[in-house]
C-alpha cells in the first residue's frame, strides 16, 4: 500500500531533567537522556515514539542509539510500515545490541500503522482490556523521605508501592517506613541486583517477621547468577521476579529452565515491542507470571507499554510510573490517570500520545 510507506523520519534528543534524583542499587539519575522519534507516511498518518536508553541495563547511550537509528534512516525511507516485522528484523540484523533503539523504532512503526488504520494500539495487540493498574516507585532515599513519598502516593490512590533496595544500610528501615506510612498498601521490593543470595533471604525474612506485606521480590541478585536467584526463590514465600536477567526471549527461556523466577519483568526498552510479545508467549506457555516495567520514560513511552499490557492481558504486576518519576509535561494523551489506573482511550488511534504543542 503506497499510503503506508515512509516519507519522513527524524531522531532528536529528548532530555528530561528529573524533579528529584532517582536512586537505585545500580545508578543515581538526575536526568533522563532519551530520544524522540517521528515518522510520516505517504497517506498522511504520523508516528511518535521515545527511546529511553539505560546504560547500566543494556549498555546503550543516547548518542549510541541516535547514531544507529540515523544510520538506518536510508533503509527506512520508502519502507512500508505494514511490514513492520520485516523492518524490525532488518534493524536487528544490522544492530543486534541496540535494544532500546529497536524498541523505539518498533513503537514508531506500530503507532504510525495504527493511526493509519484508525485503531488504538491496545486493540491491535488483542484488546483484552482497556486499562491497567500500576504501582509507584519509592527510590533509595532516607527512611523519612521514603515515608513521605509513600504517604503521598497512597493518598493519591496507589495501593501498590515498589521500594528500591540493595545498597545496604537502611534497606530494612526504608521498607518499614513505607509500610507504616501507607497501611494497607502492598509492598514490592526491587533489589536491582544489589544482594548476595543469603542477604536477600535474610532481609525478606526480617521484613515479613515485622509484618510488612511484601507481595514481590524483584531481581535480588546479579543478573547472571541464576543459581542465586533460584536459591532465593526456594527459600522465600513471596514470588521472585527476574528483571535485568531477562532482556531477550532466549533469556526468558534460560531463567525459566533454571527455575530462577516465578515472574518475568518485561520492559520494552530491553526486549523491544515484538520481543516483549515473544517473552509473554514463552512465560504463558511455561506457567510463569508476567510483569511489565519501564525505564525513566515520559508519558509517551509509558503509553506504548500500557497499550501492550492492556491489549495482551495477563500481567500480574504493572510498574508503569516512569512519567511520574520524570515529571515531564511535554506529552499529552495516551491515557487518563485515575490514581493507579491508566485508562486508555478507544477513540485515539495508535498510542494516542502527542506533543502538547501539537495537540489541538
| Mean predicted confidence (pLDDT) in 77-104 | 98
Q: Are residues 142 and 168 in the same domain?
A: yes
What does the pLDDT read at residue 20? Answer: 87
DSSP label of 111: H
Burial of residue 86, with CB atoms counted within 10 A of its CB: 0-12 exposed, 13-18 middle, 19 or more buried: exposed
pLDDT in tens, 238-284: 999 999 999 999 999 999 999 999 999 999 999 999 999 999 999 99
Q: Are residues 101 and 162 in the same domain?
A: no
**Inter-CA distances, 354 with 32, 253, 329, Å:** 19, 36, 11
Q: Sorting pLDDT into bands at 50, 70 and 90, what band is 17?
A: very high
pTM: 0.96
> Of 88, 118, 148, which residue is a domain's last?
118
Q: Which residues contact 257 (CB under 8 A, 6 or more apart)?
A: none
Domain extent at residue 26:
2-118
Helix (H) or strand (E) holding 65: helix 62-71
> Of 98, 118, 138, which residue is a domain's last?
118
What does the pLDDT read at residue 22? Answer: 86
What does the pLDDT read at residue 360? Answer: 47
Are the C-beta atoms of residues 325 and 18 closer than 8 Å to each other?
Answer: yes
Residue 311 falls within a domain, yes or no? yes
**pLDDT(74) > 50:** yes
- State the residue for C-alpha cell 532481609: 203
Residue 330 falls within a domain, yes or no? yes
Q: Are residues 156 and 284 in the same domain?
A: yes
| Mean predicted confidence (pLDDT) in 206-213 | 98
Q: Are residues 326 and 281 in the same domain?
A: yes
Q: What is the CATH number for 168?
A: 3.20.20.120
Q: Are residues 15 and 74 in the same domain?
A: yes
| Mean predicted confidence (pLDDT) in 15-31 | 86
Q: Are residues 102 and 138 in the same domain?
A: no
**Inter-CA distances, 162 with 46, 57, 127, 218, Å:** 35, 19, 27, 10
Residue 360 falls within a domain, yes or no? no
Q: What is the CATH number for 38?
A: 3.30.390.10
Burial of residue 14, with CB atoms counted within 10 A of its CB: 0-12 exposed, 13-18 middle, 19 or more buried: buried
Q: Are residues 138 and 28 in the same domain?
A: no
Residue 220 falls within a domain, yes or no? yes
| Mean predicted confidence (pLDDT) in 328-334 | 94
Q: Are residues 71 and 194 in the same domain?
A: no
**Inter-CA distances, 26 with 140, 190, 242, 267, Å:** 11, 11, 15, 17
Q: Which residues contact 169 (CB under 8 A, 6 or more apart)?
A: none
| Mean predicted confidence (pLDDT) in 103-127 | 98
| Mean predicted confidence (pLDDT) in 327-353 | 96
What does the pLDDT read at residue 162? Answer: 98
Q: Are residues 226 and 96 in the same domain?
A: no
Instruction: Tell me the DSSP string of 190-254.
Output: E-TT-S-HHHHHHHHHHHHHTT--EEEEE--S-TT-HHHHHHHHHH-SS-EEESTT-SSHHHHHH
Q: Are residues 44 and 154 in the same domain?
A: no
What does the pLDDT read at residue 359? Answer: 54
CA dist 216 and 168 (Å) reads 19
Average pLDDT value over all residues in the chain? 96
| Mean predicted confidence (pLDDT) in 6-18 | 97
Are the C-beta atoms of residues 53 and 100 closer than 8 Å to each other?
Answer: yes
In the structure grid, which three cell numbers stand for residue 78, read together? Answer: 520508502
> Of 99, 118, 137, which residue is a domain's last?
118
pLDDT in tens, 278-316: 999 999 999 999 999 999 999 999 999 999 999 999 999
Q: Are residues 114 and 129 in the same domain?
A: no
Nearest to 249 by CA among 275, 226, 269, 223: 275
**pLDDT(168) > 90:** no
Residue 248 falls within a domain, yes or no? yes
What does the pLDDT read at residue 2? Answer: 78
CA dist 256 and 117 (Å) reads 37
Handedness of CA 87, 93, 99, 100 (dihedral sign): negative
Q: Which residues contact 248 (CB under 8 A, 6 or more apart)?
A: 271, 275
CA angle, residues 159, 326, 174, in degrees to nearest 5: 50
In the structure grid, which three cell numbers stand for residue 304, read together? Answer: 506504548
Taking the CB of residue 92, how many other CB atoms lie within 10 A of it? 18
- Total tally of structural domains belonging to the chain: 2
Q: Are residues 6 and 88 in the same domain?
A: yes
| Mean predicted confidence (pLDDT) in 191-197 | 96
**pLDDT(169) > 90:** no
Q: Sorting pLDDT into bands at 50, 70 and 90, what band is 107?
A: very high
Q: Sorting pLDDT into bands at 50, 70 and 90, what band is 358?
A: low
Amino acid at each position: 500500500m503506497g499510503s503506508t510507506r515512509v516519507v519522513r523520519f527524524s531522531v532528536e534528543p529528548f532530555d528530561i531533567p528529573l524533579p528529584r534524583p532517582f536512586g537505585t542499587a545500580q545508578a543515581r539519575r538526575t536526568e533522563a537522556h532519551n530520544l524522540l522519534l517521528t515518522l510520516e507516511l505517504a497517506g498522511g498518518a504520523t508516528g511518535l515514539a521515545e527511546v529511553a536508553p539505560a546504560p547500566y541495563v543494556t549498555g546503550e547511550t543516547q548518542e549510541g542509539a541516535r547514531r544507529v537509528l540515523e544510520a538506518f534512516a536510508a533503509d527506512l525511507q520508502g519502507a512500508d510500515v505494514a511490514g513492520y516485522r520485516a523492518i524490525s528484523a532488518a534493524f536487528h540484523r544490522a544492530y543486534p545490541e541496540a535494544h532500546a533503539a529497536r524498541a523505539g523504532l518498533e513503537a514508531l512503526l506500530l503507532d504510525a500503522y495504527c493511526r493509519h488504520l484508525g485503531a488504538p494500539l491496545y486493540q491491535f495487540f488483542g484488546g483484552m482490556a482497556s486499562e491497567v493498574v500500576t504501582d509507584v516507585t519509592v527510590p533509595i532515599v532516607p527512611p523519612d523521605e521514603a515515608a513521605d513519598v509513600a504517604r503521598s502516593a497512597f493518598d493519591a490512590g496507589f495501593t501498590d508501592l515498589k521500594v528500591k533496595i540493595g545498597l545496604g544500610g537502611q534497606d530494612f528501615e526504608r521498607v518499614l517506613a513505607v509500610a507504616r506510612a501507607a497501611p494497607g498498601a502492598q509492598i514490592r521490593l526491587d533489589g536491582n541486583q544489589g544482594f548476595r543470595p543469603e542477604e536477600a533471604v535474610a532481609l525478606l525474612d526480617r521484613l515479613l517477621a515485622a509484618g510488612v506485606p511484601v507481595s514481590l521480590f524483584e531481581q535480588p541478585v546479579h543478573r547472571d547468577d541464576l543459581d542465586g536467584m533460584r536459591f532465593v526463590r526456594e527459600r522465600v514465600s513471596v514470588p521472585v521476579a527476574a528483571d535485568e536477567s531477562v532482556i531477550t526471549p532466549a533469556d526468558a527461556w534460560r531463567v525459566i529452565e533454571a527455575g530462577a523466577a516465578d515472574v518475568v519483568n518485561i520492559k520494552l526498552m530491553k526486549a523491544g515491542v515484538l520481543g516483549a510479545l515473544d517473552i509473554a508467549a514463552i512465560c504463558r506457555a511455561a506457567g510463569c507470571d508476567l510483569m511489565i516495567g519501564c525505564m525513566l520514560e515520559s508519558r509517551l513511552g509509558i503509553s506504548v507499554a500500557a497499550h501492550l499490557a492492556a491489549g495482551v492481558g495477563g500481567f500480574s504486576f504493572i510498574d508503569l510510573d516512569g512519567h511520574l518519576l520524570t515529571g515531564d509535561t511535554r506529552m499529552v494523551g495516551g491515557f487518563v490517570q485515575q490514581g493507579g489506573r491508566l485508562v486508555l482511550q478507544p477513540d485515539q488511534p495508535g498510542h494516542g500520545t502527542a506533543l502538547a504543542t501539537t495537540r489541538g
